[in-house]
Structure 1
Amino acid sequence: MRLSGSWQSVWDDRILEWMRENEGTGTPKEIHDSGLVRVSRTQIGRRMKKLAEHHLLTHVGNGAYVITDEGEAYLEEEYDAEEGVYLKDNGPSASSTSEAETNDV
């Protein structure tokens, strides 16, 4: 089960799913035109901005966004969007952390 944040809306998962299915990049217009998210383009843009504020997307300019590692992990149920942490040491630096901890022993 995905661990969504209290700040998330019902549309955020659909936006992230669309992004993943479309090479990890997109704009509010593209998502709106797809028909998957049935709210206004303006509302989609607001949600994408909020997802970027919480590190699930990154704004790359000209209204375009890309999905982040955290966004991918959230969709794979490996990231807690409320706490902003990876679950079960699945983070991108989990292996380097493990090595550091091993060296301290």
Structure 2
Amino acid sequence: MRYSGGWMVLADDRILEFIRNEGSGSPKVMADSGYVRYSRGYISKRCRKLVEHGLLNDLGNGVYTISERGEKYLDGEIDTSEDRPDEIESHGDSGPSAGENHEQV
């Protein structure tokens, strides 16, 4: 299960999946592929947002690759919410979740 932040849209998952499968991609290639069914301009805008949030790497000249964080998102290993970046609560585990303060007060 993927834990997408409120800032994400459906196109983001398609972009990340395409780039993971292809190794890299540009908005033009993604739009022409038929897999990412959005305009080149919209894909470009979303790629910049994904770079801003660390899910894609911008190689320059409009080419992007998926980051380690992007891979973890696609695999359901991180939460991309801005208020809980990279945390996933473990269901069935009564211990503290990642990122919690473990100091006693």
Does residue 15 (structure 1) correspond to residue 15 (structure 2)? The answer is yes
Match of 1:2 in 2: 2
Match of 1:101 in 2: none
Match of 1:84 in 2: 85
Could you say what secondary structure the match of 1:26 adopts? coil
Superposed, which structure 2 residues align to 1:27-66 within 5 Å?
A: 27-66=26-65
Alignment-mate amino acid for residue 4 of structure 1: S
Q: TM-score, normalised by structure 1?
A: 0.78
Identity of aligned residues (%): 47
**How far apart are the structure 1 equivalents of 2:87 and 2:28?**
30
- Per-residue Cα deviation, 1:2-27 (whole angstroms, up to 9, x for no partner): 0001000111101100011002x111
Q: CA deviation at 1:86?
A: 5.1
Could you say what secondary structure the match of 1:36 adopts? coil
Runs of 4+ in 1 over 2 A off after TM superposition: none
Give unpaired runs (5+ residues) of structure 1: 89-105
**How far apart are the structure 2 equivalents of 1:68 and 1:86?**
17
Alignment-mate amino acid for residue 32 of structure 2: D
Q: CA deviation at 1:87?
A: 3.9
Alignment-mate amino acid for residue 17 of structure 1: E
Give unpaired runs (5+ residues) of structure 2: 90-105
**How far apart are the structure 1 equivalents of 2:5 and 2:88?**
14
How many pairs are equivalent? 87
Q: RMSD over aligned Cα, in angstroms?
A: 1.2
Q: TM-score, normalised by structure 2?
A: 0.78
Alignment-mate amino acid for residue 11 of structure 1: A
